[in-house]
């Protein structure tokens, strides 16, 4: 590694580690305020990291509970006391959903293809207190999840494995006024259709608009709970632009964004729930929630509980009927892109100004290629190593050119020192004579930087992809590396061994390629250690890629040395 390359590498690490602070400094990103928050303590009795916190309790935001009050109807509802509270269970190939006629909607949704680390299915409605989503009318004083509906199907279990299923819940206030929730479930999709149908909204006292709210916050699903909470946010697509709703004030989120709203959702690290209007767009996105510092056996973390919804306007009409797709499932880029509404932007890959346009093609290529390699080699650890080999083969000519340039710079070092002494009082002459020296010996000092150019956007893209894609979730490599999506939680975590290997390969590579100058010797020791310290919590898949690529770079060096010896022998003969 020469003097020209080293600053670029250091710059790369700084930008990767301090990505958002740099964007904030440039005015391209506005963080949410983080005022002092109330701190509570969660003991090992309330948070069990061994079971991956699938029993995490959902806390409903106080401001939202205050906003949802008992309905104030213009017409008194006629609900028979004889209507029993019952449930319906529907099993598709993707999920198992439990619906109740108290609120006329889902109270539980278990993903069949994704589990916690203890093998239990991921719950997308953890400890739901009400049917979700909830249609709220009359300035959110009427909650559709607080009334009892009659069901079009008897309480039972229904398999939806080969055909669709329709379910209709009806709340009949008068002979002329009702609220219907009509569901359509499909065998092989992560969404269901929901129709909100209100007859005579004026008799209910409804006017102007209503809110369809995802009113049950997501809970963490990953071993590193703090990273999971960090990724939790409310997101809206408005006029084709991804918008975050994260304006917390004293730990409370109560925010609205006006504008044409194509969808609104909440997300965690790897899972999401999204409300997508079908027949018309909304005119506002809203989000409610809270965040607070909690103490756990593994240290302090910031816990987040977030709900989000879309506001749908309506005129003074006899009947209001809106159709929604409700997507509840994994953050799978290709799957979400198939909905053709920009749903894949929920992952936040390639949505930032300037940087996004550069990174997005690399990120999409990675997410497209890795699963196809996995079909041939069913181990994502090996896939990552093979991917590093592929990248190394592609960049091999640049690497050899880099080594040639570095070697040329080493060979010219004595002559450079002579020029510095000769022209130490004439910088312009020194620059002129230095360029002549480079030209006469066929050395291009910038060649050492060329190999970094294709690597930088690729590494950025892998950093973004490995943080959000579900491809590596719970994907084992071998031995103690049982999950390539997680990183080392501490310096005593067994995953730190992979970080140590990365540091060692970086050190050996630096030792072979750096010159013998005292300054570069110091960097040879400092830089790999700095990399390990800053990056040890990153996903093991990314650390594995970096380690494999660094090891293969050593092979580049030996290939260069071998070719150099052969060329010398040819010239001698």
Average pLDDT over the chain, rounded to an integer: 81
Q: Which of 103, 112, 106 is nearest to 89 (CA)?
A: 106
The answer to whether residues 448 and 319 belong to one domain is no
Q: How many residues are given for the chain?
A: 573
Question: Which pLDDT does position 356 carry in this prediction?
Answer: 67
- Residue-range definition of the domain harbouring residue 92: 30-351
pLDDT tens digits for range 184-213? 999 999 999 999 999 999 999 898 999 999
The answer to whether residues 273 and 134 belong to one domain is yes
Question: Which pLDDT does position 51 carry in this prediction?
Answer: 37
pLDDT tens digits for range 259-298? 999 999 999 999 999 999 999 999 999 999 999 998 877 7
Q: Which of 330, 345, 354, 333 is nearest to 473 (CA)?
A: 330
In a domain, 366, yes or no: no
The answer to whether residues 41 and 180 belong to one domain is yes
What are the contacts of 10-18 at 24+ separation with CB within 8 A? 10/527, 12/452, 12/456, 12/459, 13/530, 13/531, 13/534, 13/535, 15/460, 16/459, 16/460, 16/463, 16/535, 17/534, 17/535
In the predicted model, is pLDDT for residue 329 greater than 90? yes
The answer to whether residues 12 and 41 belong to one domain is no
pLDDT tens digits for range 517-552? 545 556 666 777 887 888 888 889 989 998 998 888
The answer to whether residues 391 and 497 belong to one domain is yes
pLDDT tens digits for range 475-486? 999 888 999 998
pLDDT tens digits for range 8-24? 555 555 555 455 445 44
Question: Which pLDDT does position 453 carry in this prediction?
Answer: 67
Report the CATH number at residue 215: 2.70.98.90
The answer to whether residues 347 and 383 belong to one domain is no
Name the pLDDT band for 419 (thresholds 50, 70, 90).
confident
Q: What mean pLDDT comes out for the span 424-429? A: 82
pLDDT tens digits for range 96-115? 999 999 999 999 999 999 99
Least confident residue range of 59-63, 303-307, 357-361, 405-409: 59-63
The answer to whether residues 140 and 261 belong to one domain is yes
527 compared with 43, residue with greater pLDDT: 527
Name the pLDDT band for 37 (thresholds 50, 70, 90).
very low
First to last CA, the chain: 32
Number of domains composing the chain = 2
Q: Are strands 87-92 and 95-100 parallel, antiparallel or unpaired?
A: antiparallel
Q: What mean pLDDT comes out for the span 311-340? A: 94
């Amino acid at each position: 590694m020469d003097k020209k390359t080293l600053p670029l590498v250091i710059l790369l690490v700084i930008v990767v580690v301090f990505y958002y602070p740099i964007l904030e400094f440039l005015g391209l990103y506005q963080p949410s305020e983080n005022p002092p928050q109330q701190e509570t303590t969660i003991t090992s009795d309330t948070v069990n990291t061994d079971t991956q916190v699938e029993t995490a309790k959902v806390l409903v935001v106080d401001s939202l509970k205050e906003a949802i009050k008992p309905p104030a109807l213009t017409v008194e509802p006629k609900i028979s006391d004889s209507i029993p509270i019952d449930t319906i269970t529907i099993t598709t190939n993707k999920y198992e959903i439990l619906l109740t006629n108290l609120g006329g909607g889902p109270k539980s949704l278990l993903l069949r293809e994704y589990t916690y680390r203890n093998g239990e299915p991921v719950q997308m409605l953890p400890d739901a207190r009400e049917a979700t989503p909830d249609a709220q009318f009359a300035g959110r004083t009427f909650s559709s999840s607080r009334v009892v509906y009659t069901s079009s199907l008897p309480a039972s279990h229904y398999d939806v494995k080969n055909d669709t299923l329709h379910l209709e819940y009806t709340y009949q206030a008068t002979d002329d006024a009702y609220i219907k929730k009509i569901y359509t479930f499909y065998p092989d999709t992560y969404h269901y259709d929901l129709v909100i149908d209100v007859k005579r909204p004026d008799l209910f006292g409804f006017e102007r608009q209503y809110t369809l709210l995802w009113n049950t916050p997501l809970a963490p699903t990953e071993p590193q709970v703090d990273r999971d909470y960090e990724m939790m946010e409310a997101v809206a697509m408005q006029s084709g632009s991804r918008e975050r709703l994260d304006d917390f004030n004293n730990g409370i989120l109560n925010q609205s964004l006006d504008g044409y709203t194509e969808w609104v959702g909440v997300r965690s690290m790897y899972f999401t729930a999204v409300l997508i209007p079908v027949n018309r767009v909304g005119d506002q996105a809203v989000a409610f929630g809270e965040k607070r510092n909690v103490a756990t056996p593994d240290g302090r973390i910031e816990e987040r509980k977030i709900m989000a919804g879309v506001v749908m306007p309506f005129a003074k009409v006899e009947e209001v009927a809106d159709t929604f797709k409700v997507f509840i499932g994994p953050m799978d880029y290709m799957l979400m892109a198939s909905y053709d509404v920009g749903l894949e932007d929920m992952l936040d890959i390639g949505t930032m100004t300037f940087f996004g346009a550069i990174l997005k093609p690399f990120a999409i290529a990675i997410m497209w290629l890795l699963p196809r390699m996995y079909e041939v080699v069913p181990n994502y650890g090996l896939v990552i190593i093979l991917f590093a080999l592929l990248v190394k083969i592609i960049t091999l000519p640049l690497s050899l050119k880099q080594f040639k340039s570095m070697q040329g710079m080493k060979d010219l070092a004595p002559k450079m020192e002579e020029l510095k002494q000769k022209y130490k009082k004439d910088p312009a002459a020194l620059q002129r004579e230095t360029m002549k020296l480079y030209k006469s010996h066929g050395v291009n000092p910038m060649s050492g930087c060329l190999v970094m150019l294709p690597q930088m956007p690729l590494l950025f893209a892998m950093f973004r992809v490995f943080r959000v894609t579900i491809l590596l979730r719970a994907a084992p490599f071998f031995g103690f590396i049982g999950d390539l999506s997680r990183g080392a939680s501490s310096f005593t975590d067994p995953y730190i061994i992979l970080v140590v290997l990365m540091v060692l390969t970086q050190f050996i590579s630096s030792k072979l390629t750096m010159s013998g100058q005292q300054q570069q010797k110091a960097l040879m020791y400092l830089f790999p250690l700095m990399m390990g310290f800053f990056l040890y919590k990153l996903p093991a898949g990314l650390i594995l890629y970096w380690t494999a690529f660094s090891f293969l770079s050593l092979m580049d060096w030996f290939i260069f040395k071998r070719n150099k010896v052969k060329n010398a022998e040819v010239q001698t003969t």
